[in-house]
């Protein structure tokens, strides 16, 4: 995976911010834990999707 790619850098920074926000929410309000977990999952999956797209073997694989 290319580290110098600005999309990779921005998605990593976004994921770090999501994790920190999640920690703040859980610490201050534990009643909406399922919503917070969903936020964490969706916010950090962006990086995984980018990594998978960069590892695509062909254009068809990339589109899928």
Asked, for residue 32, whether it belongs to a domain, the answer is yes
Asked, for residue 47, whether it belongs to a domain, the answer is yes
pLDDT in tens, 25-36: 998 887 898 899
The Cα 62–Cα 52 span in angstroms is 8
The Cα 59–Cα 25 span in angstroms is 40
Helix H or strand E encompassing 41 = helix 33-54
Asked, for residue 24, whether it belongs to a domain, the answer is yes
Count: domains in the chain:
1
The Cα 12–Cα 24 span in angstroms is 19
Asked, for residue 1, whether it belongs to a domain, the answer is no
Q: Which residue range forms the structural domain that includes residue 42?
A: 6-63
- The domain that holds 48 is classified in CATH as 1.20.1440.60
Q: Output the pTM of the full model.
A: 0.74
Asked, for residue 57, whether it belongs to a domain, the answer is yes
Helix H or strand E encompassing 19 = helix 6-28
Ramachandran sector of residue 23 (left: φ over 0; alpha: ψ -120 to 50; beta: rest):
alpha
pLDDT in tens, 14-63: 999 999 999 999 988 878 988 999 999 999 998 888 887 777 677 776 66
């Amino acid at each position: 995976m290319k580290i110098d790619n600005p999309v990779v850098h921005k998605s990593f920074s976004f994921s770090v911010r999501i994790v920190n926000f999640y920690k703040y929410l859980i610490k201050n309000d534990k009643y909406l834990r399922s919503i917070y977990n969903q936020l964490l999952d969706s916010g950090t999956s962006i990086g995984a999707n980018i990594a998978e797209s960069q590892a695509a073997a062909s254009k068809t694989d990339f589109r899928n």
